Amino acid sequence: MSVLTSISVFFVIWWTVLFAVLPIGSRSYHEMGLKPPGGGDPGAPVNPNLKRKFITTTWIALVVFSVVWLVIRFHLISLPPMRSTF
């Protein structure tokens, strides 16, 4: 797998994991029984902890990417050869 392909695959995995991690541990103003400040949405999280979630996302994505890389590197799943259409 080339470097550009690896970066692209990691980015797609990271982005997918981010959307899986975002709702974990989030409590909305409505769930907490609080009024949102300044006319905000009651469904917005009180404390989103984005820095912590970005770090968690990165670690999970690294583990998933490592598994994908190992599977491709050691041919644990055979992929069909690429054919040129030109």
Q: Is residue 79 part of a domain?
A: no
**How much is the average pLDDT of 23-38?**
91
Q: Count the residues in the chain.
A: 86
Q: Is residue 8 part of a domain?
A: yes
Q: Domain tally for the chain?
A: 1
Residue 45: the pLDDT is: 92
Residues 6+ apart with CB under 8 A from 49: 25, 26
Closest by CA to 5, choosing from 78, 71, 69, is 69
pLDDT in tens, 43-78: 999 999 999 999 999 999 999 999 999 998 898 987
Q: Which residue has the higher pLDDT, 3 or 85?
A: 3
Q: Is residue 86 part of a domain?
A: no
Q: Is residue 85 part of a domain?
A: no
Q: Is residue 78 part of a domain?
A: no
CA angle 44, 33, 18 (to 5 degrees): 30
Range of the domain at 42: 3-73
pTM of the predicted model, to two decimals? 0.79
Q: Which residue has the higher pLDDT, 81 or 71?
A: 71
